[in-house]
């Protein structure tokens, strides 16, 4: 009899937990942002419980976990901001990520940089190295490195106006003829279950070729990219070797990356 009572109480607690999580999800989507402390007060429960709720919702791909709260999962398939817009966001984090990326590079290596604001920051962090070859499909990155001692190989292809990147069959064919020691890959979305994504299909195809020619693949992305998906999947998480990101990444995402055998540097 006691076992039946305990079982009933457990089911009732589970129902209450799910009701609270559905209510939290509604708040996130309606208000655009929630904070752990406010949620704990609203639902008369502990902050530890709320954090567990948010981690669970994040793990289901329903919210984007942030430091101290959560945001809605972006409908990133519709978002393709310009490079200029991206460079305004998370500047300090990108600079720290770029500095950490530069420390992985040795003289004499060949490095692939895809397009994006974070990889542009990496290019700036590499400017003072000598005897380095950089392969890129980003016109702005090639311009950043002009006048340095770095040898720059710029792929051909069709120019994407927003991102200053070169895409299409010509870019892909150029890359297939080359080999690189390391690829620094920037992404618009990183769902640790689904994979790395970008809004543009042609960009994703170029990124996939970059991954094939590089001996080591390092994703460089600030923590706002986690829990988000864009239109085109570049690759599943196990296809990369390492991630460099900032301290805003959630513990659950860190744990999942480590479980997938991915090294992670948090700056």
pLDDT in tens, 151-161: 999 999 999 98
Residues 6 or more apart in contact with residue 164 via CB below 8 angstroms: 83, 115, 138, 139, 140
Same domain? 168 vs 140 = yes
What's the domain range around 59?
Answer: 2-73
**Where is the domain boundary, 50, 73, 96?**
73
pLDDT in tens, 53-63: 998 888 777 88
Cα 220 to Cα 50, 52, 94, 122, 265: the distances in Å are 29, 27, 8, 9, 10
Report long-range pairs for 200-204 (Cβ below 8 Å, ≥24 apart).
Answer: 200/80, 200/160, 200/163, 200/167, 200/231, 200/232, 201/231, 201/232, 202/158, 202/160, 202/167, 202/168, 203/114, 203/115, 203/160, 203/163, 203/165, 203/167, 203/232, 204/232, 204/233, 204/234
CB 228 within 8 A of CB 187: no
Element (H, E) at 204: helix 201-213
The more confidently predicted of residues 191 and 5 is 191
In angstroms, the CA 194 to CA 215 distance is: 23
Same domain? 99 vs 202 = yes
Same domain? 69 vs 89 = no
Same domain? 53 vs 150 = no
Give the chain's mean pLDDT: 88
Same domain? 65 vs 81 = no
Same domain? 176 vs 251 = yes
Q: Give the count of domains, the chain.
A: 2
**Where is the domain boundary, 73, 88, 116?**
73
Cα 154 to Cα 72, 101, 167, 213: the distances in Å are 37, 20, 11, 15
The answer, as to whether pTM is greater than 0.75, is no
CATH code of the domain covering residue 14: 1.10.10.10
**Where is the domain boundary, 73, 105, 129?**
73
The two three-digit tokens of residue 181, written as one number: 């020691």
pLDDT in tens, 178-224: 999 999 999 999 989 889 999 899 999 999 999 999 999 999 999 98
């Amino acid at each position: 009899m006691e076992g039946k009572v305990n079982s009933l109480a457990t089911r009732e607690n589970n129902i209450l937990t799910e009701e609270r999580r559905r209510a939290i999800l509604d708040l996130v989507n309606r208000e655009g942002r929630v904070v752990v402390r406010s949620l704990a007060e609203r639902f008369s429960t502990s902050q530890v419980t709320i954090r567990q709720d948010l981690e669970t919702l994040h793990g289901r791909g329903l919210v984007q976990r942030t430091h101290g709260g959560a945001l809605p999962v972006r409908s990133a398939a519709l978002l393709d901001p310009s490079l200029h817009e991206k460079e305004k966001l998370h500047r300090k984090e990108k600079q720290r990520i770029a500095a950490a990326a530069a420390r992985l590079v040795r003289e004499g290596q060949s490095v692939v940089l895809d397009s994006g604001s974070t990889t542009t920051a990496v290019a700036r962090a590499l400017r003072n190295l000598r005897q380095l070859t950089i392969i890129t499909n980003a016109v702005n990155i090639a311009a950043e490195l002009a006048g340095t001692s770095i040898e720059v190989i710029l792929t051909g292809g069709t120019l994407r106006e927003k991102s200053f990147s070169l895409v299409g069959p010509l870019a892909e064919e150029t890359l297939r003829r080359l080999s690189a020691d390391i690829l620094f890959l920037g992404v618009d979305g990183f769902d640790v279950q689904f994979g790395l994504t970008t809004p543009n299909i042609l960009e994703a195809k170029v990124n996939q070729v970059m991954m094939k020619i590089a001996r080591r693949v390092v994703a460089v992305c600030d923590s706002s990219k986690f829990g988000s998906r864009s239109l085109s999947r570049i690759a599943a998480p196990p296809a990369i070797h390492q991630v460099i990101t900032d301290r805003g990444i959630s513990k659950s995402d860190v744990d999942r990356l480590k479980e997938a055998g991915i090294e992670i540097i948090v700056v």
